[in-house]
Structure formats: structure tokens, C-alpha cells
Amino acid sequence: MYRSHVLVCGGTGCTSSGSAQIIETLQTELEKQGLTKEVCVVQTGCHGLCALGPIMIVYPEAAFYSMVKVSDIPEIVEEHLLKGRVVKRLLYNETVTDAGDVTSLADTEFYKHQHRIALRNCGIINPENIEEYIGTGGYEALGKVVTSMTPEEVIKVLTDSGLRGRGGGGFPTGIKWKLARSNASEQKYVCCNADEGDPGAFMDRSVLEGDPHVVLEAMAIAGYTIGANQGYIYVRAEYPIAVARLKIAIAQAREYGLLGKNIFNSGFDFDIGLRLGAGAFVCGEETALMTSIEGKRGEPRPRPPFPAQKGLFGEPTLLNNVETYANIPPILLHGAEWFASMGTEKSKGTKVFALGGKINNTGLVEIPMGTTLRQVVEDIGGGIPNGKKFKAAQTGGPSGGCIPAEHFDIPIDYDNLIEIGSMMGSGGLIVMDEDNCMVDIAKFFLQFTVDESCGKCTPCRIGTKRLYEMLDKITKGQATLEDLDKLEELCYYIKDNSLCGLGQTAPNPVLSTLRYFKDEYIAHVVDKKCPAGVCKSLLRFEIIPEKCKGCTMCARTCPAGAISGTVKHPHVIDPDKCIKCGACMEKCKFGAIIKR
Amino acid sequence: MKSLDELRAIREKMQKQVGLRSEGDAGIRVVVGMATCGIASGARPVLTALSDAVQEKGLTNVTVTQTGCIGLCQYEPIVEVMEPGKDKVTYVKMTPEKALHIVDQHLIRGQVVSEYTISGIMG
């Protein structure tokens, strides 16, 4: 029996900041102090506060150590684990009061507004140990369903709970399951979409890394409900930790008889296979995903027929996203009312967001639907670095749009976001400040869709390329006002004519920035200026002669040799040679260099 | 897995372990003095005995932790039991055997073992 548990985050964020070495050092130090039988080290999934990684939590004190370094470990082991004195200096500063008292992690701004359902086990259990998952109530919902509920009862609970698909579209999950059940066939399939591809999104990745069994359990429940005995998880190969833990989880679930034949002696058989995607964004689209599982090139096909009618291998198929599955076992254990008591009228429960961009607490948060964007950015996210001003938040990745400052107080749910021209998407939330150029952002996302378009249909393949070229023209100051009209027209053409969701939503970043930041587009086109100072072609670096002391620092820094002048005399930048890297501006001690 | 009972047996076994990973609520806190003086007079086996017994008996409302020197070095190993709404009880000159006795009498049955307390020893 262990008296103390040391939880070290083994999510992708903390792994890249060195948590594996920390675990190694911890074990050596514990051995040195003879504590290996008293203290256990657990590698968990993501805790959410990735900005402060590597993260380490010591129970029973619940001491939250942040940005832990290998060199801190001997002190933590000797002081805290041996002598019982928490090393306050290394704790997350929000958990230590001015008087030096240690407060609860749940009271910090980052965690206090969160409500964790999908992420409930992430960062708490060891994802590679099925018994720890069972210890938190895991597989109980599956047991309850197969031994005491009819498929219709399961569907009713899900419908009453108001759960909607967390992958982006927000289709009611109960109805989806009902449709898949109602199409009779000898063979049906249950699939899990773990092909998370939006730039900056890592919600599903964290669930798979931190709590893989919840997905297996929910898929087995889905199999029982719709009448399928085979499931597939489609996960991208770029998620090596998630893939490894899924493999372990599937093997353990089989060993414990939670996958396989005759689960809970109910006569129900279910097994799951893992399929790795090569990382094409289009394979997150449901028809392309199934085509890829079939072993063919990942291309979408027209709908109808919908997957519930003719899906994988031409059979009725149920396809849900990772986060949707993660909500299902708790709903079946706690009931539809419990879930429906959270959120807004039409969006129930919680949503996981990956906070990124210009924000202090980058990381993973789960908030009740209806939380305002202001709360997410200012309270949970800890505001914007360097006192800059909030300009917009981008949700839904390349399929979504921007939420400008004027909608800062809008409660986040599916319908509100669509109304203001964005979308929930899978949950990436990128915060932008006054230094971000909105035309450049639109161009960035279009570059992404141009790269990721599968090329099957013309509006998407050629249309997105032309859109990108127009945006490029604008950022270079070569466009006219007529081009802006053409830009918008092409957006609607692509939306209306593309085959799948990728093309249909690809123009959204352009349309939403045009809607809220038209003035920036006009500034690029008419004044040939980039207000945020991002678009290099429209930028000019100049030296104010009155402020320049002639220290020669800028001339020595310039990598292009574009600055000339003699000592103690004002220097000059040659605009033809200047590559607009801004290095001179950073080095100038007198503020004599300006960007315009 | 053939039955829900089988699943529940695993869950109960694991809950004793995973249950440690929740933030301190208003349960009983058992604190063992683990400064140099405590360790020198044998606090380590006391601490291990206490935490093993607490977890084995499934006392989910009890947490066992350590603390530094409280200044009564001649009475180490010292174990303090803190219960919300009650006076702190200080046990002195502990051994693993005495510790187990405290788990049975005090932590489970709620009866203070007065012969081990500081006032009991000092008369």
C-alpha cells in the first residue's frame, strides 16, 4: 500500500517539456531514500495547464508543482516525500497565498470555472492501468447497459440528456444512435473519429492519452445499442502516445473480458480495431474516414446515403467523435437529467476547448456550455500577455470563424456561435490580440485548406487555391476594391458547390473576417497599409533621425546589410534591401526605429 | 468479465488507492512527525504501518501525511490525529503495534487511546 501518490503528467505537452526524465529521476531519488514501497509514481494524462508543464501533483496533500525541473526532484523527494514539508517555492504560484498558505488547486482561476466530465479522469488516473479506470467507476455503465437496459432505453436517456456531437456539427447524439439502430442489417459498425486535424486543437488527443478506456466503454455501449459487434477507432499516426495507450487499453479490455465474447455474461459480443490515419485533414470528414478504413484512398463521397444507412463497407455505421463518447458513460450512470441540468437551452453539458494563441494559460479547459468568451479568456485563460488588447477569438479551426470583441460576452453554445458566423467546431480556441492581422489569419487558414483539399471536387480544389491567391494579393497591397467583391462571391460559390464539409466550410475564415474586420481588408486594399503591422509587403521600417544617436547597433544587427550610417550620426534604412525582419527595432535602445 | 459483482470487487479494491487522489475534504487527518528527530526514533515504520492499515481497512475519510518537528523531540515518534470539530489528539512514543491499535480504536471506533496520549504518558 502506498501512502503517497505522485502524479506526473505524461500528456504530449508535458512529455515535450521533459516529463519522462522527471519520472526517471523521481524513481532514482525515491530508491535512494528507500521510499519506493511508500510512494508510487503515476504517469497520467493531461491536466490542462500545459503552459506550466511539466506538471506534478503530490497526494494526499494535493500539492501542485509546476514547471518542474529535473534538478528540483531531489529536493522534492527529500523535503516533501520524506519529511513531509511541501516545497512552497516550487508550487504553482496561484496555490500559495501571500501569507504562505497552500490553497486548493480547485480554487485557482484556471480550474474554478471548469466542470470536468469528458476530462474527469485525465490527469488523475494512470491511463495504462485498466483497474484504475474501473476504480473511478469505469465500465460500470457498460455493465449496467448490457445487463439491465434495452437499446431503446439507452437511446431515450441519450435523447433526453440533450447531448450533441462534439466533433463540430452538433447533431443530436440520441437521434444519430436511433437512426443507426433502425436500419436493419446483419452486420453494422461503430466507429470513433479520432482524426483530430484542426491546427491548434488537441482535445481528443488528450482524452485518448489520459483516459483511453472511456472511449472503448462508450463504443461497446454503442455497439450494444445499435446492434453492432465490431468497432473501429480511426486515429492519426501523428499521435504516437495516444496510439500506444489505445493499444494497451484494447489489450487490457480484452484480457478482462470487457471486449470480446459474451460481455458480462449477457450474450453480447464486441471488439474494437485500431486504424491509423496518415494525417490527411479530409479524413476527419465522415465519409472520407470510412473510405480510408476500408483501405482506399481517403476521399469523401456524396451524402445521402448517410453512414447510418450505408456506411463502412456499405453497412449501417454509427460514427461519433472522441469527446462525444467520453460523455456517454457518465450520462448513463448519472442520468439524463443530471446532464441536461448543465448548459444552455439547446446545448447541454460541457465542452472541452484547447486554448491557444495570445493567452497566458495555454492549455485544455472544459467549461459548461453557456460560459462567456470573456470568462474563458480573462478568468480561465488568465488574460492576454503583455497587457495587449483582445481583438478576436477563432473557433472551429479552418472551418470556423472569428468572434470579435463586440461579442465578448456571448454565452458559448452551438447556436450562438453559428449566429455570429463562427462555429463550435471540435474545440480549438485561438485568441488573437491587436498584433494579429485578420487578413493574414484568413490567409493562414486558406493555405491550410489548399494543402489539405483532397482534390476530388473542383470547387474545393481550384476554388480554395484562387481564394488563397486573392488573399495573397490583398496582403501584398496589389488588390482593388473589385477584388474584394469577387472574393466574397467566390466564397459563396465554394460553399454551395463543394462535395464535403471541408470545401463547404473552407471559406468561413474569409467570410467571418470580412464580416467583422472589413476595415482591415479596406486598409490593405485602399491605403496599402496593414494596421496590425504583420503583412511584410506593406511594411516599412524607418529610423527617426531626431531619436537616433548613431550607436551603430542596428547596422551591426541587420542581417541584410540594409542599414548604413556613421558613428554618432543618424542612420538610414535602405527599403530595397530591407527584408522587414524587425531585428533592428528589437535591438534599438532609443526607440528610434518605427514600423509603419 | 462475467458479472457486475466481479467489476465492483475490482472497483472497491482500486478505490482505496485512487481515492487518495482527491483534494482534502473534511475527513480525519493523521499526521506523523517526520523530522530528523522523528525519523531517528523510528517514525518511518509507524508511518508505513498507519498508511497500510488505513488503506487496507478502506478508511476513505482518513488521510495519513507527515509533518516536521513539533518541538517535543524526546517524545518522538509523535502521531497527531485531527478531526474536524474535535480537539487534536497527540500520541507519543509510537511504535507500529501501537499505531495499529490506534487505527482500530480511534480511527474506526472513535475511542481515544488515552494511555498513549501525551497527557496519559506525562500523567
Q: Which CATH number fits the domain that encloses residue A445?
A: 1.20.1440.230
Task: Identify whether A400 is part of a domain.
Answer: yes
What is the number of CB-based contacts under 8 A between chain A and chain B? Answer: 112
Using CB atoms, which residue from A61, A135, A265 is nearest to B65?
A61
Question: How many C-beta neighbours within 10 Å does residue A547 have?
Answer: 13
The CA distance from A414 to A582, in Å, is: 41
Same domain, A30 and A92: yes
Tell me if A62 and B23 make a contact (CB, 8 A cut-off).
yes
B-chain CB neighbours of A84 within 8 Å are: 31-32, 34, 65-68
Q: If you average pLDDT over residues A499-528, what whole number do you get? A: 95
Tally of structural domains, chain A: 5
ipTM for this model = 0.81
Residue predicted with more confidence, A510 or A2: A510
Residue B27 has pLDDT above 90, yes or no: no
Task: Name the average pLDDT for chain B.
Answer: 86
Same domain, A474 and A367: no
Task: Identify whether A566 is part of a domain.
Answer: yes
Task: Identify whether A209 is part of a domain.
Answer: yes
Tell me if B52 and A1 make a contact (CB, 8 A cut-off).
yes
Tell me if A135 and B24 make a contact (CB, 8 A cut-off).
no
Name every residue in A having a CB less than 8 A away from some CB of B. 1-5, 7, 37-38, 57, 59-62, 82-85, 104-106, 124-125, 131-132, 134-140, 143-144, 147, 256-258, 262-265
Same domain, A170 and A254: yes
Tell me if B17 and A135 make a contact (CB, 8 A cut-off).
yes
Q: Which domain CATH number covers A363?
A: 3.10.20.600
Residue A374 has pLDDT above 90, yes or no: yes
Residue B26 has pLDDT above 70, yes or no: no
Q: Minimal CA–CA distance to B82: which of B101, B107, B57, B105?
A: B107
Confidence grade of residue A3 (pLDDT, cut at 50, 70, 90)? confident
Q: Minimal CA–CA distance to B80: which of B21, B69, A58?
A: B69
CA-nearest residue to B21 within chain A is A59
Same domain, A331 and A364: no
Same domain, A442 and A554: no
Task: Identify whether A590 is part of a domain.
Answer: yes
Extract long-range pairs of B34-40: CB within 8 Å, 24+ residues apart.
B34/A82, B34/A83, B34/A84, B34/B66, B34/B67, B34/B68, B35/A83, B35/B68, B35/B69, B36/B69, B37/B69, B37/B73, B37/B76, B38/B69, B38/B76, B38/B77, B38/B78, B39/A82, B39/A83, B40/B76
- Residue where a domain stops, chosen among A60, A88, A105: A105
Confidence grade of residue A425 (pLDDT, cut at 50, 70, 90)? confident
B-chain CB neighbours of A136 within 8 Å are: 14-15, 18
Q: Minimal CA–CA distance to A352: which of A424, A261, A437, A257?
A: A424
Which structural domain range is residue A54 located in? 4-105
Name every residue in B having a CB less than 8 A away from some CB of A. 1-4, 7-8, 10-11, 13-24, 31-32, 34-35, 39, 47-48, 50-52, 55-56, 63-68
Residue A381 has pLDDT above 80, yes or no: yes
Using CB atoms, which residue from B8, B50, B65 is nearest to A84?
B65
Q: Could you tell me which CATH number the domain at B24-122 has?
A: 3.40.30.10
Tell me if B55 and A1 make a contact (CB, 8 A cut-off).
yes
Confidence grade of residue A197 (pLDDT, cut at 50, 70, 90)? confident
Instruction: Verify cis geometry, omega within 30 degrees of 0, for the bond prior to B77.
Output: yes
Residue A104 has pLDDT above 90, yes or no: no
Confidence grade of residue A388 (pLDDT, cut at 50, 70, 90)? very high
Confidence grade of residue A434 (pLDDT, cut at 50, 70, 90)? very high
The partner residues of B104 in beta bridges, in order of sequence, read none
Task: Identify whether A110 is part of a domain.
Answer: no
Tell me if A134 and B7 make a contact (CB, 8 A cut-off).
yes
A-chain CB neighbours of B56 within 8 Å are: 1
Q: Which domain CATH number covers A181?
A: 3.40.50.11540
Same domain, A254 and A366: no
A-chain CB neighbours of B47 within 8 Å are: 3, 38
Cβ atoms A102, A84 nearer than 8 A: no
Task: Identify whether A125 is part of a domain.
Answer: no
Out of A103-107, A422-426, A554-558, B24-28, pick the least confident. B24-28
Using CB atoms, which residue from A5, A84, A104 is nearest to B66?
A84
Domain ranges of chain B: 24-122
Q: What are phi and psi of A371, to 5 degrees?
A: -65, 140
pLDDT digits (tens, 9 = 90+) for A70-79: 999 999 999 8
Tell me if B2 and A132 make a contact (CB, 8 A cut-off).
no
Residue B24 has pLDDT above 60, yes or no: no
CA-nearest residue to B67 within chain A is A84
Same domain, A464 and A504: yes
Percent of chain A with pLDDT over 90: 82
Question: For residue A297, what pLDDT is reported?
Answer: 94
pLDDT digits (tens, 9 = 90+) for B33-57: 888 888 889 998 999 899 888 888 8
Same domain, A506 and A569: no
pLDDT digits (tens, 9 = 90+) for A273-313: 999 999 899 999 999 999 999 999 999 999 999 999 999 99
Same domain, A487 and A556: no
Same domain, A32 and A140: no
Task: Identify whether A114 is part of a domain.
Answer: no
The set of cell numbers assigned to A110 is 484556471
Q: Which candidate in B14, B16, B34, B76 is best for mutational testing of the A interface (most A CBs within 10 A)?
A: B14
Same domain, A287 and A429: no
Burial string for A125-161 (b: 16+ CB within 10 Å, else e) reads: bbbbbbbbbbbbbbbbbbbbbbeebebeebbebbbbb
- A377 burial (CB, 10 Å; 0-12 / 13-18 / 19+) is buried
Same domain, A443 and A412: no
CA-nearest residue to B53 within chain A is A1
Percent of chain B with pLDDT over 90: 31
The CA distance from A70 to A78, in Å, is: 14
Q: Which domain CATH number covers A560?
A: 3.30.70.20
Confidence grade of residue A60 (pLDDT, cut at 50, 70, 90)? confident
